[in-house]
Amino acid sequence: MKTINYLVGDATRPLTKGNKIIAHICNDIGAWGKGFVLALSKLYPEPERAYRHWYGAREQNDFALGAVQFVAVSPEIVIANMIGQHGIRKTGGIPPIRYDVVETALETVGKKALETNASVHLPRIGCGLAGGEWDKIEPLIKTHICDKGVMVFVYDLA
């Protein structure tokens, strides 16, 4: 069983060798343009294009809360677009984050990391614009990724 490694740095620029998955939360309404995705898009345009196409063709694919889209951006780096946020604003006092579907998405990421012998790199997902709480997200990462023996790195900007 692994633990979460906390680092000061930029999750878009993983600090380890080997295969890496950079995982982040997306919303279910096709919006891309605030928060972590801005930094991601500066380095890698492919995940945004893939997300927008995935959303645009949602009637013909698996785009839904809890789904994950894996987008290779280099031979060693894959971006995981995880649909874990319903909308982009609080509704009736409820933030956009949906912990149950984040859990489903993290399970998928954990399986992919095992299959590809990859480490997983993330910002504090779901705790910015999605309005989530880290003390609810962290145990999900531990259960669905760390407990599988996958190395996890969570980055906090300096």
In this predicted model, what pLDDT tens digit does every residue of 104-117 receive, in sequence order?
999 999 999 999 99
| CA max distance for the chain | 44
Q: Are strands 77-85 and 68-72 parallel, antiparallel or unpaired?
A: antiparallel
- What is the rounded average pLDDT for all residues in the chain? 96
Please name the residues in contact with 138: beta carbons below 8 A apart, sequence gap of 6 or more. 4
Grade residue 30 by pLDDT with cuts at 50, 70 and 90.
very high
Q: How far is CA 13 from the centre of its chain?
A: 14
Taking the CA of residue 11 as centre, how many other CA atoms within 13 Å lie in the half-sphere pointing to its CB?
Answer: 30
Three-state SS at 137? helix
Q: What is the band of 39 on the pLDDT scale with cuts at 50, 70, 90?
A: very high
Residue 34: HSE in the Cβ half-sphere, 13 Å Cα cutoff: 9
pLDDT for 44 equals 97
Token look-up 């009736």 returns 92
Beta-bridged to residue 97, according to DSSP, are: 85
Give the pLDDT confidence score for residue 43 in this predicted structure.
96
Closest CA to 22 of 80, 101, 70, 74: 80
C-alpha closest to that of 13 among 42, 55, 51, 54: 42
The range of the structural domain enclosing residue 116 comes to 4-156
Q: Tell me, what CATH number does 128's domain have?
A: 3.40.220.10
Question: Structurally, how many domains does the chain consist of?
Answer: 1
What mean pLDDT is predicted for residues 136-158?
96
End-to-end CA distance of the chain: give it in Å, rounded.
Answer: 28
Do residues 114 and 147 lie in contact, with contact meaning Cβ atoms separated by under 8 Å? no
Could you identify the residue written with the tokens 């910015």? Answer: 128
